[in-house]
Amino acid sequence: MSGNEFDLINRYFKSQPVNRKDVVLGIGDDASVISVPENSQLVVTTDTLVAGTHFLKNTDPVKVAYKALASNLSDLAAMGAVPSWCSLALTMPKLDEVWLKGFCEGFYKLAEYYHVQLIGGDTTRGPLSLTITLQGIVPADTAIRRDGAKAGDWLYVTGNLGDSAAGLDVILSGLAPKNSTEEILVERHYYSQPRVLAGQALRSVASSSIDISDGLITDLVHILKASNVSAIVNADQLPVSEELLQFVDNPKDAAKIALCSGEEYELCFTVSESQRDKLDAVLLDTTTPITCIGKIYPGEGLRVNWKGKSIDWPLSGWVHFLKNK
């Protein structure tokens, strides 16, 4: 970009709405300076979105911004962290003020909701892409990790599963949503809510946690491998929405989508028998629905049951799966 173009872009980012007291020095110097509270640890995550890979080039920039920040918020939610500051690296082929305005609108709306301050970044010329590094804090030694699941723990998920993949299916069909059901599913694909408050509430009770960004099966396997345990998931108990049931007509197809749907930012977590009673209490204020979907066992592997019997459905990832639905 030319110097004037950069000045213009910088004006958009300097006028960001959140001003945290712990930001000693924000945008505008060689680096930003932050005060981290005592007895806290810093939690850091990074996600990149590339046009053509993670979103279509003509996607509404409001939605691109939401997705970029929400995916990072969801990572912090899985750790039980309080999101606090972020850096944004934005690469654009040319100065496009309409796009930039939409992007800032989506970005700031979500950043303001979670009180996340943009503290810096970089703006460069090149193929459209963006990288966000989001930082948060947890009280020392309370972050929820993937490797803490133990045999005997119960397996839970927040919210409903499958809506995001069903919504994407509608979008990729290239047709406008046929009814309000499809409209709702599309909206849920674009605006999945990261479980930020639930993640923080779970710090005191969950033995492990991960966000379902790549699909339940894929992400649960990360917990199982990191914790050296196995699991049985009861697919007939997976929480699915009324809209998903209407979309696919029968519960088994809904469960198949729920097992593989990615990008919906629900949390998958484990809780020991002794902590189980506390779940409702700690989640009360967050009004987060949770569902027990299975149990952790010793050994290796993952078995998926339907009404008590092991399934023989192919589950090779939700994109491929949906294509063959």
In this structure, is the dihedral angle defined by the CA atoms of residues 75, 81, 83 and 89, taken in order, positive or negative?
Answer: negative
CA nearest neighbour of 148 among 258, 236, 228, 252: 228
Residue among 84 and 164 whose Cβ is closer to a second copy: 84
Is residue 189 near a second copy by the rule CB under 8 A?
no
Is residue 89 near a second copy by the rule CB under 8 A?
yes
Report, in Å, the least distance between residue 249 CB and a second copy.
31
Report, in Å, the least distance between residue 178 CB and a second copy.
32
Residue among 28 and 307 whose Cβ is closer to a second copy: 28
Exposure string of 29-50, with b = 16+ CB inside 10 Å and e = fewer, is eeebebeeeeebbebebebebe
Report, in Å, the least distance between residue 72 CB and a second copy.
9
How many Å apart are CA 145 and CA 82, to the nearest integer? 15
Are 256 and 321 within 8 A, CB to CB?
A: yes
Residue among 69 and 79 whose Cβ is closer to a second copy: 79
Tell me whether residue 45 is annotated as binding.
Answer: yes
Is residue 197 near a second copy by the rule CB under 8 A?
no
Binding track over 146-185 against a second copy, x by CB under 8 A:
xx--------------------------------------
Report, in Å, the least distance between residue 137 CB and a second copy.
9
CA nearest neighbour of 232 among 314, 293, 290: 293
DSSP string, 243-262: HHHHHHSSHHHHHHHHHH--
Write the CB contacts of 200 (distance below 8 Å, at least 6 apart in sequence): 77, 80, 81, 82
How many Å apart are CA 187 and CA 203, to the nearest integer? 30
Residue among 145 and 150 whose Cβ is closer to a second copy: 145
In the beta sheet, which residues pair with residue 230?
A: 297
| Inter-helix orientation angle 61-79/97-113, to 10° | 30
CA 269 to chain centre: 14
Residue among 61 and 83 whose Cβ is closer to a second copy: 83
Query: Which part of the chain contacts a second copy (CB under 8 A), choosing from 118-126, 150-158, 189-197, 238-246?
Result: 118-126
Count, residues in the chain: 325
Q: Binders of a second copy among 38-77, rule CB under 8 A?
A: 38, 40-54, 75-76
Residue 218 is encoded by which pair of tokens?
A: 């894929």
Residue among 133 and 261 whose Cβ is closer to a second copy: 133
Angle at 102 between CA 97 and CA 108, to 5 degrees: 120
Angle at 280 between CA 279 and CA 285, to 5 degrees: 110
Quick one: which H or E segment has residue 208? strand 206-211
Binding track over 121-150 against a second copy, x by CB under 8 A:
xx-xxxx-x-x-x-xx-x-xx-x-xxx---
Is residue 196 near a second copy by the rule CB under 8 A?
no
Report, in Å, the least distance between residue 272 CB and a second copy.
20
Q: Binders of a second copy among 210-229, rule CB under 8 A?
A: 210-211, 226
Q: Which residues are annotated as a binding site for ATP?
A: 121-122, 146, 213
Residues of the shown chain interacting with a second copy in the complex, contacts defined by CB under 8 A: 24-25, 28-36, 38, 40-54, 75-76, 78-79, 81, 85, 87-89, 91, 119-122, 124-127, 129, 131, 133, 135-136, 138, 140-141, 143, 145-147, 209-211, 226
Report the binding-site residues for Mg(2+). 30, 45-47, 75, 122, 211, 214
